[in-house]
Structure 1
Amino acid sequence: MKDHVTVGVDGSPESRAAARWAAHEAVLRHVPLRLVHAVDWPLDPVFPGLGRQDVDRWADAALTDVTQELHQRHPPLEITTRCLAARPTAALAAEASDAALLVLGSRGLGGPARFIVGSVAMSTLVATATPVALVRDTDDPDGLGINISEVVVGVDIHASCDRVLAFAFEEAARRSCSLRAVHSWKMPPAYMYVPFFDPDNERDISRSVTHMVEDVLLPWRHKFPHVDVSHRVFMGSAGDHLVRASQGAGLVVVGRHLRRSPLGRHLGPIAHAVLHHAAAPVAVVAHE
């Protein structure tokens, strides 16, 4: 049974924020927290003159500092640590295999670019089927500025997204907050060549899509009757609408398909847009 939350720690401000968020999540789930630090050894020539003992001491100090801080915030929380000599992406993906959730830090920015998603985080995202949460260095779950009144989830009506919806409903239930489901649709390409477009067609399609979203959500409403659920259907870019919906949310949940391209595993355009521009932590859930 996957009964713990894992977080990558490297001593950076964003990884500390991720550790705080992960600890808060572990408390909500009533499960232990595992801190993982990975060093790709040897470091030369990037850090010439730095010995293995120096690296080990620095890693131990980073894990100890974070552990002490989290124990002060959450005294009952069970925390374990692991320091691995391996490539961070491979180590984090392996550690995620028996975890319920992997949490990674990502540098936050002001303005329209809210996230800087590093290569390790991006590579780890596509290397594991475990849900992964990306947290900015400004996302402090214990801070007064964090709004947990709403979880936002992107809904796909064209493929099974049960894992995504299960994750989103469970998160809303844990936080005792509302859930907002968002779906965007686009007009068929053929309508670009229609000289006189009837607006009634757009309204009919919107109503039809709305009914389909309601059908997708219905069994989950029954399973989580205490979660207050709303849904919005938009015409246009799904990524853009999810980014707008992230304003004021406590968490955004998006899916990614478990599939390979000739160039290897990758994130779809919607998840990619949300990861880089959302104004809240983002959880990416792999699904068929």
Structure 2
Amino acid sequence: MAPTVVVGIDGTAESTAAADWAAEEALRRGLPLTLVHAWDPQRLANVALAMAPDAQQAVAARLVRDTEERVSARHPGVRVTGEVVTGPEAAGLAERSEDAALLVLGSRALGPVLGFLVGSIGLKVLKRTRCPVVMVRGREREGGAESGGNSSSGDIVVGVQDAGEAATAVLSFAFEAAASRGAAVRAVRAWSLPTVFSFRPSTMRRADEHGGLEESERQTLEDTLAPWRERYPQVSVAPVLEFGGASEVLLSSSADSQLVVVGARGRPGGRHIGAVGHAVLHFADAPVAVVTDA
């Protein structure tokens, strides 16, 4: 099956923003866009005053049709199709993403202090899929216009906590995104003093060879970025090395970015999202791409 960009829709402003972002990404990649609405009659049957199943199905089909017409009108260069899948939302979206190049979902803004609500469905989908997933913010600008974090300015920010080959998947996604947008890459790495549990004599020997722990970490970051600089000479790269916790450093470095890219560990049947990934998903202002390692 040919790859496609898949976006989950449910009629909310958040999914509308996600659909627009996904359409722009599909156009950049030269791929078709598939709109997927998961209709779960079992869950709706438990809702008080729920409509009859036939009426619910008709509403779901109309939602997909209306969204398809809207996205096609706003993004005429993209081939758009829509479908309704029956069953639990997380399972339906995960299944449709198995052969996808990218899955896009929406998340709701809760405010500057509380951050963004990824939601149980979004987290379930994130954990069950292996393709890259982008969470797009749905929020309102002044005057009531909807914003989906579709800014074409700003850097592509990528967290580089792994080094060497372990960073391949996340850096590949970030550099490809930057090249397609004509943007720069801001590669962010946090460092801290080793604890009694993480202390290794080899780490200290390397630090001594490079003039201290900070310089050793800086060299690790530069060595990890070197092959990507060579592969994408047209992409400007800004390495950022800061002392502190990885979540705080990455979030503080992602201000005014157009996309934040974080890694996740592959697991049988899905992926594991660590503490840094969860923090960025809930508090980064830009769309967040979660990329699974090999």
TM-score (ref. length: structure 2): 0.88
Matched, 1:3 2:3: yes
Partner of 1:286: 292
Considering only aligned residues, what root-mean-square deviation do their CA atoms show, in Å? 2.3
Matched, 1:100 2:101: yes
Give the whole-Å Cα distance in 2 for the aligned partners of 1:127 and 1:191.
32
Q: How does 1:121-270 map to 2 (within 5 A)?
A: 121-138=122-139, 139-140=147-148, 146-158=151-163, 160-190=166-196, 204-259=212-267, 266-270=272-276
TM-score (ref. length: structure 1): 0.89
Aligned partners of 2:137 and 2:149 also within 8 Å? no
Deviation beyond 2 Å, 4+ runs, structure 1: 138-142, 146-149, 156-159, 200-203
SS of the residue 1:76 aligns to = coil
What is the CA distance between 1:76 and its match in structure 2?
2.3
Give the whole-Å Cα distance in 2 for the aligned partners of 1:47 and 1:102.
32
Q: How does 1:11-50 map to 2 (within 5 A)?
A: 11-42=11-42, 43-50=44-51
What is the CA distance between 1:190 and its match in structure 2?
3.4
Partner of 2:282: 276
Give the whole-Å Cα distance in 2 for the aligned partners of 1:234 and 1:184.
5
Q: Which amino acid aligns with 2:137?
A: R
Unaligned runs of 5+ in 1: 193-199
Partner of 2:73: 72
SS of the residue 2:112 aligns to = coil
What is the CA distance between 1:84 and its match in structure 2?
0.7
Partner of 2:112: 111
Aligned partners of 1:185 and 1:237 also within 8 Å? yes
Q: Which amino acid aligns with 1:94?
A: E
Q: Which amino acid aligns with 1:101?
A: L
Cα distance change of structure 1 residues 132 and 179 upon mapping to structure 2, 3 Å threshold: same
What is the CA distance between 1:109 and its match in structure 2?
2.7
Give the whole-Å Cα distance in 2 for the aligned partners of 1:236 and 1:170.
28
SS of the residue 1:258 aligns to = strand
Q: Which amino acid aligns with 2:70?
A: E
Q: Which amino acid aligns with 2:157?
A: V
What is the CA distance between 1:214 and its match in structure 2?
0.7
SS of the residue 1:129 aligns to = coil
Give the whole-Å Cα distance in 2 for the aligned partners of 1:100 and 1:186.
35
SS of the residue 2:186 aligns to = strand
Aligned partners of 1:102 and 1:132 also within 8 Å? yes
Give the whole-Å Cα distance in 2 for the aligned partners of 1:256 and 1:203.
31
Aligned partners of 1:5 and 1:101 also within 8 Å? yes
Cα distance change of structure 1 residues 273 and 59 upon mapping to structure 2, 3 Å threshold: same
Cα shift readout 1:224-283 (whole Å, capped 9, x = no counterpart): 1101111111111111111112210000000011137xxx96420010110010010000
Give the whole-Å Cα distance in 2 for the aligned partners of 1:204 and 1:170.
33
SS of the residue 2:174 aligns to = helix
Aligned partners of 2:5 and 2:102 also within 8 Å? yes
What is the CA distance between 1:61 and its match in structure 2?
1.7
What is the CA distance between 1:47 and its match in structure 2?
4.0
For these two proteins, the number of residue pairs brought into alignment is: 276
Cα distance change of structure 1 residues 271 and 223 upon mapping to structure 2, 3 Å threshold: same
Aligned partners of 1:147 and 1:249 also within 8 Å? no
Aligned partners of 2:149 and 2:286 also within 8 Å? no
Aligned partners of 1:35 and 1:79 also within 8 Å? yes
Q: Which amino acid aligns with 1:188?
A: P
Unaligned runs of 5+ in 2: 140-146, 199-206
